[in-house]
Copies of this chain bind each other. A is one copy, B any other.
Amino acid sequence: MAEPVRVGVVGLGTVGSGVVRLLVESADHITRHAGRPIVVERAVCRDVGKDRGIKLAADRISTDIRTVSQDPSISVAALLVGGLEPARSMMVELLENGKDVVTANKALLAEHGPELFELARKKGRSIAFEAAVAGGIPIVAAIGECLAANRIERIRGILNGTSNFILSKMEEDGADYADVLKLAQAKGYAEADPAMDVDGTDATQKLAILAHLAFGVWVPWAEIPRTGIEGIDQGLMTYASELGYRIRLVARASRSDGELAMKVAPALVKIGTPLAETRGAYNAVSLVGDAVGRMFFHGLGAGQMPTASAVVADIIDTVVGRAAITFRTTGVLDAESPAARIDTADLHERHFLRVTASDRPGVLSRITGILGEHRISIASVIQHEPSEAAGGAVPLVIMTHACGANAMKKAVAHIDASDVVSAPSVCLSVLEE
C-alpha cells in the first residue's frame, strides 16, 4: 500500500464536518478508490472548542490557515468556507504554498474564478469544484469530461434547493411564500438570511460556473439577468397549474449563432417534464449536446452528505492525479467561444403574463391591443369573475405564442404605464420541454 495522502480541511461547518466524517467513516472504501489512504492531517475553523461530533483529535484543529498551508506533509486542501473573504485570501494562501485545492464555494469561483484559476495554473496546482454546483450531481464532471466530445447547446437547471423547496411546497400546500419561507428556515433548508437563495444570486453564480465549463467564457455573474422568487404568489401558481404548468426558478444558458443567452428567473415549466417533476430540495440539470442529444440529471443539490460526497470525490480525483489533468483543459475553449453576449433578446419563446387590471369596460381590448402593437400574438386568455376581496382589480392571464423577449418586455412596460392597470404585471417565460 502506498503512503497515505494527508489533507487539510479548511472550514468545519456543515459541509466540512461532513467531509471529515466521510473520510473517517468510509476510509476503507475511499482507500480502495484512491489506491492509498487519505487522512485528515489538519482542520481549520473559527471555533476550535465547538463539538461537531467528528472523530478528529483536538490538537489537529486550529483557527490558523497556516497550520495547513505551511505544513509540507499536506498536499491537498479542501476549502469549505463560504463567502468571498476570507475564503479568497485562504485559497490564494493555499495555492501559493503549493496545495491542490478542492472547494464547494460557488460565490468565490463566480466572482474570482479567472484570477484563481490563473494563479493555480501558474503554480502548477489544480482547483476541483464539483461540489460548487448542484451538490451531489456530478454535473461539473459531466460537462468537463464525460461530454467533452460535444458542443453544449443548452443548459437548464434548478440549481438552488431552497427556492425549489419553497416553490414546490407552495404548490403542494397552497401556502403563501412568507409562510413557506418560515417553514424552510425552521427545517434548516433556508438560511437565517435566505436572500441569496430566493433572489436568484446563488443559482446565477452556479450558472456562471457551468457556462465557463460548457462555453469557455467567464461571464461576470452580476451581469446575468436575474429575477428571484419573491414575487411568486398563489394566484400565479393556480393559473400556471390551470394551464398545465408549474413554476420553477430556472437558470439557463443557450448558444446559437455564436451568441450566448443567459438568464435566471422563475418560469412556467410543463407538468410531466423533468424540471417540473423536480421537487423539494432536489436540484436538476438538463442539457443538450450536439452529439449526445438531451440529457437530464437529478439529485440532492445541497445538504451535508451529498455535498461532502462531491468534495471527497474531488479529493480522490486530486490524489490519483485526475484533477490535475482535468484542470488543464477546464474551460479552455476560448478560440471557439461565443462572444458572451448576455442578452435575452434572442430567447424566442412563449410568455405567461398576468396583468392586474381595473374592472371596467374595454380593459381586455386595450391590453390585447397593446400586445398586438408589439406584434405579440395571443394563444389563450383566462379571466375569472372578479372577487370582492380584490377590490375591483381583475387578474387577466394571457399566454402568448412564441415571441422575442425584448418585444415582450417593451409590451409589458407599455401595459404597466397605461391607465387600465392597478398593479405591476408579472411576465414569465414558458418552457415546453
Contacts and interface: CB of A to CB of B under 8 A. Distances in A.
* Chain A interface size range: 35 or more
Q: How many copies does the complex hold?
A: 2
A303 B293 CA distance: 10
B151 A29 contact: yes
Interface string A129-150: 0100000111001100111111
A320 B313 contact: no
A291 interface: yes
A28 interface: yes
Interface in A330-361: 332-333, 335-336
A333 B32 CA distance: 6
Nearest to A138: B146
A272 B328 CA distance: 41
Contacts of A313: 145-149
A327 B383 CA distance: 62
Nearest to A298: B296
A231 interface: no
Interface stretch (A81-89, A304-312, A404-412): A304-312
A293 B289 contact: no
Given A32-B333, A33-B329, A309 B277 contact: no
A151 B29 CA distance: 8
A149 B322 contact: no
A146 B141 contact: yes
A274 interface: yes
A149 B316 contact: yes
A365 interface: no
A325 to B, nearest CB: 5
A328 B35 contact: yes
A137 B306 CA distance: 20
A317 to B, nearest CB: 7
Contact of A291 (B35, B293, B306): B306
A335 B1 CA distance: 14
Contacts of A274: 274, 277, 298
Given A291-B306, A293-B305, A332-B32, A142 B149 contact: no
A294 interface: yes
Interface of A: 18, 22, 26, 28-30, 32-35, 130, 136-138, 141-142, 145-151, 272, 274, 277, 289-300, 303, 305-306, 308-310, 312-313, 316-317, 320-322, 325-326, 328-329, 332-333, 335-336
Closest 4 CB pairs of A and B: A138-B146, A149-B312, A136-B292, A291-B309
